[in-house]
């Protein structure tokens, strides 16, 4: 039996902006159905690498293959319909209603989404279908990002790429929406790549964690392996933060118990 061919392949990707090398040679495969977190400090090149997937950034050298095809050879509009994109800024169009925002991707390729499909998408992200007629400025931050996710899913994409999707949300919303996305990933059989600087989020949601540092992938491990000490210094430095926080919380809890 041969291995299934990867849905996404980075093949020697280098991105330079003038003197700065943002991505310094990344090769890696992402198999269909996996939930991959791309973790690193600010400036490690993770967002740039992600944006080569839907061609918002073109690699200086190297290729990105999506389902076996070089993304540079695909029409951007077609490609981006098959690749749902969610990012921290959300970027809902303020002059369009929720329904129009969700339907924009299919509309660009000449397809009209019916009210039923809009309602279905809103329900997917746990929003009241009655919100379809609202304008974005009437929504809370969390509701807006839910609409952002629904918009990314409207074209029935094979791949979902997310750039710090929950970075601007409060912790409760962030947790709820994270779990929701993981659930949708399972339910819809998606392949998901999520960029985050929060190792805890990566460990809890993903089944594979890529750690980037100075434009290179320095660790490629499962969450369990990372927690078990694998992945090297940079990765362990990132894992140490939530671990120490958890330990201090546990200690506080213990202190409280001993007092009572």
Instruction: Name the residues that contact another protein, by CB under 8 A.
Output: 54, 56, 76-81, 85, 87, 89-95, 104-105, 108-109, 151
Minimal distance, residue 195 CB to another protein, in Å: 14
d(CA 21, CA 160): 26
Q: Listing from the earlier edge strand, what are the strands of the sheet with 61-66?
A: 20-30, 8-17, 61-66, 69-70
The residue (of 104 and 230) whose beta carbon lies closer to another protein is 104
**CB neighbour class for 254 (10 Å; exposed up to 12, middle 13-18, buried from 19):** exposed
Minimal distance, residue 243 CB to another protein, in Å: 33
Minimal distance, residue 159 CB to another protein, in Å: 13
The residue (of 83 and 199) whose beta carbon lies closer to another protein is 83
The residue (of 151 and 208) whose beta carbon lies closer to another protein is 151
Alpha carbon dihedral 184, 190, 194, 199, in 10-degree steps, equals 60
Minimal distance, residue 114 CB to another protein, in Å: 19
The residue (of 83 and 234) whose beta carbon lies closer to another protein is 83
Minimal distance, residue 152 CB to another protein, in Å: 8
The residue (of 28 and 104) whose beta carbon lies closer to another protein is 104
The residue (of 104 and 218) whose beta carbon lies closer to another protein is 104
Minimal distance, residue 177 CB to another protein, in Å: 18
């Amino acid at each position: 039996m041969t291995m299934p061919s990867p849905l996404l392949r980075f093949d020697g990707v280098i991105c330079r902006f003038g003197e700065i090398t943002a991505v310094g040679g990344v090769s890696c495969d992402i198999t269909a159905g996996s939930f991959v977190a791309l973790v690193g400090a600010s400036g490690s090149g993770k967002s740039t690498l992600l944006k080569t997937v839907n061609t918002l950034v073109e690699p200086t050298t190297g290729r990105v293959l999506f389902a076996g095809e070089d993304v540079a050879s695909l029409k951007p509009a077609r490609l981006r319909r098959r690749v749902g994109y969610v990012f921290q800024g959300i970027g809902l169009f303020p002059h369009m209603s929720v329904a129009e925002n969700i339907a924009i991707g299919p509309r660009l390729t000449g397809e009209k989404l019916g009210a039923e499909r809009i309602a279905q998408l809103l329900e997917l992200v746990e929003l009241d279908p009655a919100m379809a007629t609202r304008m974005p400025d009437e929504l809370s931050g969390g509701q807006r990002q839910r609409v952002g996710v629904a918009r990314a899913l409207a074209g029935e994409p094979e791949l979902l790429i997310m750039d710090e999707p929950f970075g601007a949300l409060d912790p409760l919303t962030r947790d709820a929406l994270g779990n929701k996305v993981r659930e949708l990933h399972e339910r819809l059989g998606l392949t998901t790549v999520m960029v985050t600087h929060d190792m805890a989020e990566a460990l809890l949601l993903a089944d594979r964690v890529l750690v980037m540092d100075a434009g290179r992938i320095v660790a490629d491990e499962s969450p369990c392996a990372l927690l078990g000490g694998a992945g090297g210094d940079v990765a362990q430095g990132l894992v140490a933060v939530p671990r120490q926080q958890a330990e201090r919380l546990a200690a506080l809890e213990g202190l409280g118990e001993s007092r009572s």
